[in-house]
Amino acid sequence: MEVYPPQEDSELLLEVALKEIKPDDDVLEVGVGSGYVAEKLKDRCRFLLTTDISPYAVREAKRKGLNVIRTDLTKGIRMKFTLILFNPPYLELSDEEKIGDWLERALNGGKHGIEVMVRFLDEVGDVLADDGRIILIISSYNTPHIFEEIKKRGFDFEIVAKRSLFFEELYALRITSSRDR
């Protein structure tokens, strides 16, 4: 298996995105994976673009008729989006768990599980419209570290949904620029 299959975090992102999306939104889903979320949103907004670093995920997204670019996070994208969705890798894998395949890249968030999220937060301002919103999925394993990183970068956030699992809690954050206030 080379593409991250839909799991509880995918379902949480879809649930929140369906409430958040507007017909006039230009939407970017970073890390499209299997296309599970994007394929259910593509007819509910003005425009939907997806990205993924995995060639397998890009192939799957194309097979589902999605607009997709193979890139790392948002690199090379020049358009501004009113809604950005990201279900990032948020686990901190041990050395024994690291095997160097594409699926590992979909799971391994680095130290505290937030290294990929921090890179995303550093880049996302370039593609976020002035009044844009970000929906970011995080795990209880990432707190409080990710909250500090979000605030450091001038963003506000609120937890808009959560899902309790056997071993962790998942949170959907709505992130906006504090400059919008």
Query: Residue ranges of the domains in the chain?
Result: 8-19+29-180
pTM exceeds cut of 0.95: no
Q: pLDDT class for 176, splitting at 50, 70, 90?
A: very high
Please tell me the distance from the alpha carbon of residue 29 to that of residue 167, in angstroms, as a whole number.
26
Three-class DSSP category at 122: helix
Residue 133 contacts residue 80 (beta carbons within 8 Å): no
Please, which residues bridge with residue 81 across strands?
Answer: 128
Residue 12 contacts residue 165 (beta carbons within 8 Å): no
Mean pLDDT of 135-156: 95
* pLDDT tens column, 73-124: 999 999 999 999 999 987 777 777 766 766 666 666 678 889 999 999 999 9
CATH architecture classification, 8-19+29-180: 3-Layer(aba) Sandwich (3.40)
Tokens (6 digits) for 43: 């007819």
Tokens 């959907």 map to which residue?
172
Provide the residue type at 114 as one letter: I
Q: Considering only CA atoms, which of 103, 105, 89 is closest in space to residue 1?
A: 103
Q: Give yes or no for a cis peptide into 89 (omega within 30° of 0).
A: no
Tokens (6 digits) for 25: 């939104």
